[in-house]
A and B are shown apart, each in its own frame.
Chain A
Amino acid sequence: MPESSPNVAVVTPSRVTSSRDTPSRQTLESAVVRFSGDSGDGMQITGGQFMLATAVAQNNLSTFPDYPSEIRAPIGTTFGVSAFQINFGSRVIKTAGDNFDVLVAMNPAALKVELNGLKPGGIILLDTGSFQDRNIHRANYATDPRTDGSLDAYRVIELDISKLTLDAVAGLGLSKEKGLSKKEALRCKNFWALGFVYWMFDRLRTPTVNWLKTKFAKRPEIADANIAALNAGHALAETMEVSDGLNSFSVAKAPNIEPGVYRTITGAEAMAWGLAVGAKLADLRLVFCSYPITPASPVLHALSNMVEHDIVTFQAEDEIAAICAAIGASYAGSLGVTSSSGPGIALKGEALGLAVSTEQPLVVINTQRAGPSTGLPTKTEQSDLLQALYGRNGECPLVVIAARAPGDCFNVAIEASKIATKYMTPVMVLSDGYIGNASEPWLIPDIDQLEKFPINLHKEGEYFDSTLRDEVTLARPWAIPGTPNLEHHIGGLEKSYETGEISSDPENHQKMTDIRAAKINGVVRDIPDQHVESGAASGKLVIVGWGSTYGPISRAVNNLQEAGVDVSHVHVRHIWPLPQNLGDLLAGFEHILVPEMNSGQFVKVLRDQYLLDAKGLNKMTGQPFKIVELENAIRAHLEAAK
C-alpha cells in the first residue's frame, strides 16, 4: 500500500517509517482479537475500523459483532457489554474464531464477561481508568480481578487509557470553548485503544484517519481529537515495545486471493444489494416492504438508501401489512419482497399461504434469531427451518434457500428472485443474525456480466385457461392489472384448474393441491446436484450442514482431515426442494452427522426424506459453533461408532 503511507506520515511522520522496518515482530498465521466494552464505548466502530485496516493489509478475515439487545443498558453492567471479534490471517479464514489471542477490555464488566474466551497466555489490554471500586462491584466482582490472582494465566497490559486519552486530546489545545467537552474528549478512548492494537498488529492508520475526517466533517475538532487519541495509543505501544517488551505481531498477506476489487460486506448489505440486482436482472421494479425487527432491519435501511435505482421501500404498520403489500406489489407487476426475523415470519404465515394459493412471485427473507417468542433478539440461531418448510395452514409448499456467509447473501437473493419469478411462487431465504451482522471481504462482481432473467408478462388472450400453465415449470401466467382483456379474479379461495374462478369441487382441490406441490418439486431442475464440499464422496462419516454453520464446519472438517480422520463435508444450500442426488450421496456414508444451531430440524427433514440414520449435533446458546466444539464432537461421534 505505498500510496497510503504519505497520508499517515503527515500525522506522525517520524514513527511510521521506523515502525515498518522493525524486525522483531512475531509472525502469526492468524490471530483473533476481541474488542469489548460498555455499549456506549463504541466497540462496534472500533472493531469495524480494525476490520477495515486488516482488509487493507490483505489478510483474510471474518468478524462477529456481539452486542446486547438493550440500546443503552446501565453503564458498567455485564449485560451492557458490547463486543466485536475479528479473526484474520494469511490462511483461509472461515469463522470469527473460537478463542481470542487478544482481549481489549474497556471496563471491569467487559473483563468479567469475556475472560473465559481468552486463550491461556493471551494478552489483555485493560483500561485501569475504569477500574474504580464502583465499577468493579457493578461487574459483580467481589475483589479487584487485577490483584486477586484471577489474571495470572494471562499477559496483562494495564494502562489508564482514560487519562492517556485526555492527555492526548489536551495536547491539541481544544478546550470546551473551542467546541470539545471533557466528555467528548474521554469518548475518544476507544480510538486510543485501537491505535495501540494497530501497533501490535502492524496495521495502517490511514483508512481510519480518513474515515474519521469524513464522518466528522462537520465537527473537525472531534475528528482531530480521535486522530490524536489513535496516534497516542499507537505511539505508546511503540515505546513500550522497546522499553517493556510488548509483543508485536506480523500477519502476512493471504496468498491465492482471487484478483479483483474487494470491499468488506455484511450479510444485510449483501442481501439488500442482491435483491436490487435480482430485480434489475428480472427487469422489474423492486418493492420492498418490511417492519422493523432485530436483526433484519439493516436490509430495510440499505434499500431505503438506494431509491435512485427505482426501488420502493415501504415501512409498514406491522409484519402482516408488510407481506400483504409485497403480495399486492407482485400482483401489480413488481418484484414484491418482505423481510423479517422469526417472530415476524410467524405473523406473516397466513399471507404466505395467500401467496402460495394465488401463485405470486414473492421473496421472503428470514434473518433468524434465537427463539422461541422474543427469545434473544440479537443472538443467532437456525431454529426457523421447520417454520420455513411447514409453518403454515394447509398444504402450502414453497421454495427455501439458505445463505452460508455474508457475501453469499448476494447470490442467494438473486437466485431467490429468479426462482420466484420463473415459477410464480414465494421463495423463503434463510439467513441469520450471525450472517446478517458479520462481515467479510467480498470480491465485487460486475453486474453487467450477470445473466439476465427477464420475466414474460402475459398480455394476450383469455386469462386462466389451464393450458396456459407452463408445460415444464407449471407456473401460471402473470397477467397484471392494466392489461386489456385479461381482467380476472384471484384470491385465497380454491380456484378451478380450468378457469381460475372459485371452485369447491373435491376433485379439483386434489388436482390443485397436487399441481402446487409438483410445481415446487419441479424447481429441482434449476438446482445443481449436491457436491461434496471436502473429502471423499463416500466413506465413514459425512458432516452435513446448512446456513451459517458453513464456516466452522468446513474448518473443523479440514483440521480433522489433516489429522488423518476419514470425514467429508456436505453443505446444503437448497433446503426445499432438496437437490435430486442428495439422498443417494448421503447413503454412501456409514455415518451422517448434522450440526445445527437448533434442536435438530434439518436432521428431521433428512431422516424423513431419505430414511437415513442421520444424527444431530445441536447447540442453542445464541452463539455460533466453535471449531474446537465441532472437532471434539466429531471425534466423540466416531469413537462411539466404533
Chain B
Amino acid sequence: MTDTMTDTMTVSATETKLTAKDFVSDQEVRWCPGCGDYAILKAVQRTLADVEAKTENTVFVSGIGCASRFPYYMKTYGFHGIHGRAPSIATGIKLANPDLDVWVVSGDGDALSIGGNHFVHLLRRNVDVQFLLFNNEIYGLTKGQFSPTSRVGTRSPSTPHGSIENPLSATLVALGSGAHFVARGVDSAQKQLIATLTRAHAFKGTSFVEIFQNCIVFNDGIFSAFTAKDKAPDKQIYVEHGKPLLFGKDHTQGLRIKPGTLSLEAVVIGEQGITKDDVLLHNETDRALAALLADMNGDTLPIAIGVLYCKPGHIFEVEIRKMVQREISETTNSLNDVLRAGHTWTVPKEPE
C-alpha cells in the first residue's frame, strides 16, 4: 500500500501542473448574474490548482439549493444529493474510500435547517472533508423565504410582516458540535478566501468554512454593513494564528479581554494608554476565544474572518479503518468459521 502511494506521488510530480481552468467543467453555470457563488466557485477552482489536487481524486457533494448546483460546475467527481443530506453521503464516500478528497457544498437552509442533524454529527465525528456553507441568510432556489440565519424582522414571501424567529450562528453551532476547524470567509474577498480554503484543505478532519455570500436577487447587500469597501476595515477583523487581533484602517484598533469580564472589547491603540501589547494575540487552538470571536456580530465588535479555530482531533474514518485493520490482522477466522462458531451438531448420513 505504501509503495503504491509513493509511486503515484512520484508520477503526479512529473505531470503538468493543473491550473484553475482545469477544474472548470463543460456545464454552463446557471446562477443569477452577479451571484456571490461565482466568486466562490472561482476561489475553489484556484485553491484546487494551488494545492495540486487531482481531478479524479476530488469529489464534490451537495444537497439542494442554489449552492448545491456547485458540483456540476467542477471538472471533478460530483454528487448532487437530496436536501440536507450531503454530509451523510460524504460520510459514506469516506467510509468506502478514505483516500478521496471530499468537499461538501451547502447553504444556510440546507445545512442548518433541513440538514441540521447531519451537519452537527458530521462535525462531531470529524470526518475528513471540507464543508463549505454558503450563508446568504435567505432561501434562494425556492424564491426568497427567510432562512435559519435570517435576522429578526426579515420580510419574505412567507413572512410578509417580518420574521419573528431568532437566527442561529453557524460558527457557534459548529463549535458547539465539536468541530475541530472553524473558519469564515467573504465571497468577494478572494485573497483571504483562497488562503482560508487552502488551510481548510490541508486540515485533516472536518474543516468548516462559513462563507458570507451575497444573494443579489432576494437578499442583496445583507452583509454590506461589513463587506462594503468603506465599511470592511472597521467592521471586519481578519484573524491569523499568533498575530495580534488588530483591525481598522492602518490597524489602529484591537481586541482585548474587557477587564473583570469574560468578554471582548474593542480598543484604540494610543488612546487611554492602550498600546499594541494590550491587544490579544489570536490563538486558534483556544476554543473559548474562538467562541468569543464567532459571537461578534459587527455591531460594537467587528465580524471575525479567517481561521477562528483549528485543533486537530482523531478522524472518524481513519479510526474505523485502523480498527478494521487491527481486527483483520488479529484473526485467522474465515467467514466459513463465523458460520460454524458456537454450538453446532452433525447429522450423519443415514446408512443405506
Contacts and interface: CB of A to CB of B under 8 A. Distances in A.
Interface of A: 52, 55-56, 58, 207, 211, 255, 257-264, 273, 276-277, 280, 285, 287, 289, 306-312, 314, 316-318, 320-322, 324-334, 336, 350-351, 353-354, 358, 444-448, 480-493, 501-502
Given A320-B88, A325-B92, A481 B75 contact: no
Contacts of A320: 85, 88, 118
B338 A492 contact: no
B226 interface: no
Nearest to B84: A320
A260 B95 contact: no
A306 B336 CA distance: 12
5 pairs of A and B residues whose beta carbons are closest in the complex: A328-B92, A491-B80, A324-B88, A325-B92, A332-B96
Contacts, number: 209
Contact of A331 (B25, B89, B117, B333): B89
A470 B120 CA distance: 41
A320 B83 CA distance: 11
Contacts of A350: 82
A527 to B, nearest CB: 26
11 contacts: A55-B345, A255-B350, A289-B95, A307-B328, A312-B320, A314-B92, A314-B95, A317-B118, A447-B335, A491-B71, A491-B72
A327 B86 CA distance: 11
Given A52-B343, A318-B117, A328-B88, A481 B338 contact: no
A448 B75 CA distance: 43
Contact of A262 (B75, B345, B350): B345
Interface string B317-328: 000100110011
B336 A259 contact: no
Contacts of B343: 52, 55-56, 207, 211, 263-264
Contacts of A489: 25, 27, 71-72, 78-80
A351 B56 contact: no
A328 B344 contact: no
Given A307-B323, A481-B77, A487-B75, A492 B91 contact: no
B239 interface: no
B349 interface: yes
A445 B327 contact: no
Given A308-B327, A317-B121, A351-B82, A484 B56 contact: yes
A292 B121 CA distance: 16
Nearest to A254: B347
Given A261-B345, A287-B95, A332-B100, A309 B338 contact: yes
Contacts of B344: 261-263, 444
B98 to A, nearest CB: 10
A190 to B, nearest CB: 19
Q: Which of B80, B99, B339, B346: most chain A Cβ within 10 A? A: B339
Given A331-B79, A332-B94, A489-B25, 6 more contacts: A58-B347, A263-B339, A310-B324, A327-B92, A489-B80, A490-B79
A325 B89 contact: yes
B59 A481 contact: yes
Contacts of A207: 343
Contacts of A310: 324, 328
